[in-house]
Amino acid sequence: MKILLLLICYIFALDVTAQNQETPFQSCNVKGSTTIYDYNKHQWTTTDESDSHIGSQPASTFKVINLLIALETGVIKNENDIIKWPGTTDTTLYGYRPDIYRDISVKEAFELSAGWAFIELAKQVGREKYKKILEKSKYGNGDLSEQGDDFWNFGKFAISPRNQIEFLINVYENKTPFSKQNIAILKKVMVTEHTDSHTLRSKTGWTRVEGNDIGWWVGYVESKGNVYFFATRITKPRSVSNPGFGECRKTITKEFLSQLMAN
Protein backbone atom coordinates (compact mmCIF):
# COMPACT_ATOMS: atom_id res chain seq x y z
CA MET A 1 0.00 0.00 0.00
CA LYS A 2 2.84 2.37 0.87
CA ILE A 3 4.55 1.69 -2.46
CA LEU A 4 1.27 2.37 -4.26
CA LEU A 5 0.85 5.64 -2.37
CA LEU A 6 4.35 6.81 -3.20
CA LEU A 7 3.83 5.88 -6.84
CA ILE A 8 0.60 7.87 -6.95
CA CYS A 9 2.35 10.85 -5.37
CA TYR A 10 5.23 10.59 -7.81
CA ILE A 11 2.96 10.50 -10.86
CA PHE A 12 0.85 13.29 -9.38
CA ALA A 13 3.90 15.50 -8.87
CA LEU A 14 5.18 14.79 -12.36
CA ASP A 15 1.84 15.73 -13.87
CA VAL A 16 1.70 19.06 -12.03
CA THR A 17 5.29 19.91 -12.94
CA ALA A 18 4.77 19.04 -16.59
CA GLN A 19 1.76 21.31 -16.86
CA ASN A 20 3.02 24.30 -14.87
CA GLN A 21 6.82 23.93 -15.01
CA GLU A 22 6.73 24.46 -11.24
CA THR A 23 4.59 23.19 -8.40
CA PRO A 24 1.77 25.31 -6.92
CA PHE A 25 3.88 25.67 -3.78
CA GLN A 26 6.74 27.15 -5.78
CA SER A 27 4.33 29.46 -7.60
CA CYS A 28 3.15 30.75 -4.23
CA ASN A 29 6.69 30.96 -2.84
CA VAL A 30 5.81 28.74 0.12
CA LYS A 31 6.69 25.32 1.47
CA GLY A 32 4.20 22.71 2.58
CA SER A 33 2.02 19.86 1.44
CA THR A 34 -1.46 18.90 0.35
CA THR A 35 -2.96 15.59 1.45
CA ILE A 36 -6.21 14.23 0.00
CA TYR A 37 -8.30 11.16 0.77
CA ASP A 38 -10.63 9.76 -1.90
CA TYR A 39 -13.46 8.26 0.14
CA ASN A 40 -14.88 5.88 -2.48
CA LYS A 41 -11.49 4.57 -3.56
CA HIS A 42 -10.09 4.52 0.00
CA GLN A 43 -7.04 6.16 -1.50
CA TRP A 44 -4.57 8.62 0.04
CA THR A 45 -2.71 11.06 -2.17
CA THR A 46 -0.11 13.48 -0.85
CA THR A 47 2.45 15.82 -2.33
CA ASP A 48 4.80 15.09 0.58
CA GLU A 49 4.35 11.87 2.53
CA SER A 50 6.78 12.90 5.28
CA ASP A 51 5.22 16.32 5.81
CA SER A 52 1.72 14.82 5.99
CA HIS A 53 2.70 13.06 9.24
CA ILE A 54 4.44 16.03 10.91
CA GLY A 55 2.42 17.93 13.51
CA SER A 56 2.12 21.66 14.04
CA GLN A 57 -0.30 24.03 15.74
CA PRO A 58 -3.77 23.68 14.16
CA ALA A 59 -4.52 27.41 14.52
CA SER A 60 -8.14 28.23 13.61
CA THR A 61 -8.77 24.82 12.06
CA PHE A 62 -9.15 23.83 15.72
CA LYS A 63 -12.52 25.62 15.63
CA VAL A 64 -13.91 22.48 13.96
CA ILE A 65 -13.45 20.34 17.05
CA ASN A 66 -13.68 23.32 19.39
CA LEU A 67 -17.25 23.95 18.27
CA LEU A 68 -18.13 20.31 18.94
CA ILE A 69 -16.52 20.42 22.38
CA ALA A 70 -18.38 23.61 23.32
CA LEU A 71 -21.66 22.01 22.22
CA GLU A 72 -21.01 18.65 23.88
CA THR A 73 -20.01 20.19 27.22
CA GLY A 74 -23.08 22.43 27.26
CA VAL A 75 -21.12 25.68 27.10
CA ILE A 76 -23.34 26.57 24.13
CA LYS A 77 -26.67 25.10 23.02
CA ASN A 78 -26.43 25.71 19.28
CA GLU A 79 -24.79 27.81 16.58
CA ASN A 80 -27.11 30.75 17.23
CA ASP A 81 -25.96 31.34 20.80
CA ILE A 82 -24.41 34.77 21.32
CA ILE A 83 -20.90 35.15 22.69
CA LYS A 84 -20.50 38.41 24.59
CA TRP A 85 -17.51 40.55 23.66
CA PRO A 86 -15.61 41.10 26.94
CA GLY A 87 -13.71 44.20 25.82
CA THR A 88 -14.51 47.81 25.02
CA THR A 89 -17.08 48.61 22.34
CA ASP A 90 -14.79 51.28 20.87
CA THR A 91 -13.70 49.35 17.76
CA THR A 92 -11.39 52.20 16.70
CA LEU A 93 -8.93 50.76 19.22
CA TYR A 94 -8.59 47.57 17.18
CA GLY A 95 -6.44 47.96 14.09
CA TYR A 96 -6.85 44.37 12.91
CA ARG A 97 -10.33 43.31 11.74
CA PRO A 98 -12.28 45.67 14.05
CA ASP A 99 -15.60 44.27 12.74
CA ILE A 100 -15.25 41.05 14.77
CA TYR A 101 -14.90 42.71 18.19
CA ARG A 102 -18.55 42.75 19.21
CA ASP A 103 -21.22 40.43 20.53
CA ILE A 104 -21.29 37.66 17.95
CA SER A 105 -23.15 34.43 17.26
CA VAL A 106 -21.26 31.14 17.35
CA LYS A 107 -21.99 30.66 13.64
CA GLU A 108 -20.55 34.08 12.77
CA ALA A 109 -17.55 33.50 15.00
CA PHE A 110 -16.80 30.30 13.10
CA GLU A 111 -17.34 31.80 9.65
CA LEU A 112 -15.38 35.00 10.40
CA SER A 113 -12.76 33.12 12.43
CA ALA A 114 -13.22 35.38 15.43
CA GLY A 115 -10.51 33.92 17.63
CA TRP A 116 -11.45 35.83 20.76
CA ALA A 117 -14.92 34.22 20.77
CA PHE A 118 -13.55 30.69 20.87
CA ILE A 119 -11.07 31.72 23.57
CA GLU A 120 -14.05 32.79 25.68
CA LEU A 121 -15.68 29.40 25.10
CA ALA A 122 -12.41 27.63 25.92
CA LYS A 123 -12.25 29.34 29.31
CA GLN A 124 -15.62 27.83 30.15
CA VAL A 125 -14.76 24.36 28.89
CA GLY A 126 -11.60 24.02 30.99
CA ARG A 127 -8.31 22.32 30.23
CA GLU A 128 -9.11 18.95 31.83
CA LYS A 129 -12.22 18.44 29.71
CA TYR A 130 -10.25 19.36 26.62
CA LYS A 131 -7.59 16.79 27.41
CA LYS A 132 -10.12 13.98 27.88
CA ILE A 133 -12.21 14.79 24.80
CA LEU A 134 -9.22 15.33 22.51
CA GLU A 135 -7.84 11.95 23.57
CA LYS A 136 -11.18 10.23 22.90
CA SER A 137 -11.38 12.01 19.54
CA LYS A 138 -7.82 10.96 18.59
CA TYR A 139 -7.17 14.57 17.63
CA GLY A 140 -3.65 15.95 17.96
CA ASN A 141 -0.76 15.00 20.21
CA GLY A 142 -2.52 15.76 23.52
CA ASP A 143 0.17 18.19 24.73
CA LEU A 144 -1.75 20.99 26.44
CA SER A 145 1.20 22.37 28.41
CA GLU A 146 0.79 25.80 26.82
CA GLN A 147 -0.49 28.16 29.53
CA GLY A 148 -2.28 30.55 27.20
CA ASP A 149 -6.00 30.12 26.62
CA ASP A 150 -5.55 29.60 22.86
CA PHE A 151 -3.24 26.59 23.12
CA TRP A 152 -4.16 25.69 19.53
CA ASN A 153 -2.20 28.70 18.23
CA PHE A 154 0.96 28.47 20.31
CA GLY A 155 2.85 25.97 22.42
CA LYS A 156 3.39 22.26 21.87
CA PHE A 157 -0.12 21.15 20.95
CA ALA A 158 0.07 19.87 17.36
CA ILE A 159 -1.74 17.90 14.69
CA SER A 160 -0.56 16.56 11.33
CA PRO A 161 -2.35 16.99 8.00
CA ARG A 162 -3.05 13.24 7.97
CA ASN A 163 -4.60 13.41 11.45
CA GLN A 164 -6.73 16.38 10.39
CA ILE A 165 -8.25 14.24 7.63
CA GLU A 166 -8.65 11.17 9.84
CA PHE A 167 -10.68 13.26 12.27
CA LEU A 168 -12.82 14.73 9.47
CA ILE A 169 -13.56 11.24 8.16
CA ASN A 170 -14.75 10.24 11.63
CA VAL A 171 -16.92 13.36 11.75
CA TYR A 172 -18.39 12.51 8.36
CA GLU A 173 -19.15 8.96 9.50
CA ASN A 174 -20.43 10.04 12.93
CA LYS A 175 -17.68 8.02 14.60
CA THR A 176 -16.66 10.54 17.25
CA PRO A 177 -17.50 11.06 20.96
CA PHE A 178 -19.98 13.75 19.90
CA SER A 179 -23.73 13.42 19.47
CA LYS A 180 -25.28 13.23 16.00
CA GLN A 181 -27.16 16.43 16.76
CA ASN A 182 -23.94 18.33 17.46
CA ILE A 183 -22.24 16.81 14.43
CA ALA A 184 -25.18 18.01 12.32
CA ILE A 185 -24.72 21.54 13.67
CA LEU A 186 -21.02 21.47 12.81
CA LYS A 187 -21.66 20.19 9.31
CA LYS A 188 -24.14 23.01 8.73
CA VAL A 189 -21.76 25.69 10.01
CA MET A 190 -18.83 24.33 8.01
CA VAL A 191 -20.50 24.82 4.61
CA THR A 192 -18.44 27.37 2.71
CA GLU A 193 -19.62 26.64 -0.80
CA HIS A 194 -22.74 24.96 -2.16
CA THR A 195 -23.66 24.52 -5.82
CA ASP A 196 -25.66 22.07 -7.92
CA SER A 197 -22.46 20.06 -8.46
CA HIS A 198 -20.82 20.05 -5.04
CA THR A 199 -20.86 21.00 -1.38
CA LEU A 200 -17.67 22.21 0.28
CA ARG A 201 -17.17 22.20 4.05
CA SER A 202 -13.94 23.75 5.27
CA LYS A 203 -12.00 25.84 7.76
CA THR A 204 -8.88 27.96 7.36
CA GLY A 205 -6.18 28.53 9.96
CA TRP A 206 -3.20 30.86 10.32
CA THR A 207 -0.75 31.27 13.16
CA ARG A 208 2.72 32.70 13.66
CA VAL A 209 5.23 30.58 15.55
CA GLU A 210 9.01 30.89 15.95
CA GLY A 211 9.40 33.38 13.14
CA ASN A 212 7.22 31.47 10.68
CA ASP A 213 3.73 31.84 9.26
CA ILE A 214 1.75 28.59 9.27
CA GLY A 215 -1.36 28.48 7.08
CA TRP A 216 -3.97 25.71 6.92
CA TRP A 217 -7.02 24.83 4.88
CA VAL A 218 -8.85 21.64 5.82
CA GLY A 219 -12.24 20.18 4.92
CA TYR A 220 -14.03 17.97 2.45
CA VAL A 221 -15.90 18.20 -0.84
CA GLU A 222 -18.97 16.12 -1.66
CA SER A 223 -19.35 15.77 -5.42
CA LYS A 224 -20.89 13.26 -7.83
CA GLY A 225 -21.48 10.62 -5.19
CA ASN A 226 -17.98 10.83 -3.74
CA VAL A 227 -16.21 12.69 -0.95
CA TYR A 228 -12.69 14.13 -1.07
CA PHE A 229 -11.12 15.04 2.26
CA PHE A 230 -8.19 17.46 2.21
CA ALA A 231 -5.63 19.17 4.40
CA THR A 232 -3.17 21.73 3.07
CA ARG A 233 -0.54 23.32 5.27
CA ILE A 234 1.87 25.96 4.01
CA THR A 235 4.69 27.81 5.72
CA LYS A 236 6.98 30.75 5.10
CA PRO A 237 9.34 32.92 7.16
CA ARG A 238 7.54 35.96 8.58
CA SER A 239 10.40 38.09 7.28
CA VAL A 240 9.37 37.22 3.71
CA SER A 241 6.55 39.41 2.38
CA ASN A 242 3.87 37.37 0.64
CA PRO A 243 0.48 39.13 0.25
CA GLY A 244 -1.02 36.04 -1.37
CA PHE A 245 -0.15 33.70 1.49
CA GLY A 246 -3.71 33.41 2.80
CA GLU A 247 -5.28 32.79 -0.59
CA CYS A 248 -2.56 30.31 -1.58
CA ARG A 249 -3.92 27.83 0.98
CA LYS A 250 -7.00 27.51 -1.18
CA THR A 251 -5.57 27.89 -4.68
CA ILE A 252 -3.00 25.15 -4.05
CA THR A 253 -5.63 22.80 -2.65
CA LYS A 254 -8.11 23.43 -5.44
CA GLU A 255 -5.50 22.76 -8.10
CA PHE A 256 -4.74 19.31 -6.70
CA LEU A 257 -8.38 18.55 -5.97
CA SER A 258 -9.45 19.44 -9.51
CA GLN A 259 -6.93 17.02 -10.95
CA LEU A 260 -8.03 14.14 -8.73
CA MET A 261 -11.73 14.82 -9.16
CA ALA A 262 -11.36 14.90 -12.94
CA ASN A 263 -9.99 11.34 -13.02
79-83, 98-102, 181-185, 186-190: which has the minimum mean pLDDT? 98-102
Q: One of 33, 52, 56, 60 is an active-site residue; which one?
A: 60
Within 10 angstroms of residue 45's Cβ, the number of other Cβ atoms is 22
pLDDT value at residue 94: 58
**What residues have CB less than 8 Å from 67, skipping those under 6 apart?**
79, 106, 110, 118, 185, 186, 189
183/177 Cα distance (integer angstroms) = 10
Q: Fill in the amino acid letter for 30.
A: V
Q: Fill in the amino acid letter for 147.
A: Q
41-55, 80-94, 116-130: which has the minimum mean pLDDT? 80-94
pLDDT digits (tens, 9 = 90+) for 168-196: 999 999 999 999 999 999 999 999 999 99
Please confirm, yes or no, whether 60 is among the known catalytic residues: yes
pLDDT digits (tens, 9 = 90+) for 191-241: 999 999 999 999 999 999 999 999 999 999 999 999 999 999 999 999 999
Provide the mean pLDDT of the chain: 91
Q: Write phi, then psi, for 33 (nearest 5 degrees).
A: -155, 160
pLDDT surpasses 60 at 2:
no
Q: Which top CATH class is 56-187?
A: alpha beta
Q: Which residue ranges make up each domain of the chain? A: 1-27, 56-187
pLDDT surpasses 90 at 3:
no
